[in-house]
Amino acid sequence: MRRFPHPVMASFIALAMVLGAGNPAVGQAANSSVTRGQWILRLSPGPQYASSTRFLLIFKIPLYPQVAAWLEDANGNFIDTIYVTKKAAKRSFYSAPASGRPEALPVWYHRQPEQQRSVDAVTGATSIGPFEFHSTVGESLSPGRYVVFLEINSSYDYNDRYTRSNSGVNGQPSLIYRAEIQVGRGPSTAVFVPIGTGSVDGSDGLIHSGLEGITTALRLLTRAEIEYRGD
């Protein structure tokens, strides 16, 4: 003879089933559509990566590029900074105004939201050799396609197009690289490709397409890549 549960017990079981169905922690992992992982930025310096300038025609000052890398979604929404050099983040440039040098990394300066201006966790000293930086920013992401931008700029990088008289301290404008990366299909690596430049005077955050007039700035790096290690 089949026994049926007591009416009170039956009500309790039914309630537990309803609560369990509405709580993803019961019977399945919460946020199962979210992937977690780590970003790895690798830069290989080129022949123009290290340079120098003279101060008062006597003192020789070594120069290394300022760099920023950041993550955006496929619709162009800024997500987070992956890496930025310390001087650029702190705006602590030698012999610069209090506002820093907006022309150093104008695209990154303009694109990062005000509430995300604190970037201590992803700030590092400028490397003088091959470079690898690990970051966990934006670690909880929905699977899909993402875009990583890299901006690099070296001061006093003059040429026939960008001279002292028309480009100030900057010389050639910041160079913008782009890479697409897939999240949610295991590890993924992409190589950055140069797509344009930033503003010469830092007045806007636009990416000016094309590389006309850019010479030595294209030799700051020989290779740049971004890797995502995750689910």
Predicted confidence (pLDDT) per residue in 157-177, tens digit? 999 999 999 988 889 999 999
pLDDT at 121: 64
As a whole number of angstroms, the distance between CA 156 and CA 138 comes to 34
pLDDT at 4: 42
Q: Residue 149: helix, strand or coil by DSSP? A: strand
What's the rounded mean pLDDT across residues 101-128?
78
* The residue to which tokens 């697409």 are assigned: 180
pLDDT tens, position by position, 66-106: 999 999 999 999 999 999 998 888 876 666 666 668 899 99
- Report in angstroms the alpha-carbon separations of 127 from 20, 67, 183: 52, 10, 28
Q: Residue 184: helix, strand or coil by DSSP? A: coil
Residue 30 has pLDDT above 90, yes or no: no
Contact of 148 with 69, CB cutoff 8 Å:
yes
Supply the mean pLDDT for the chain: 80
As a whole number of angstroms, the distance between CA 153 and CA 82 comes to 17
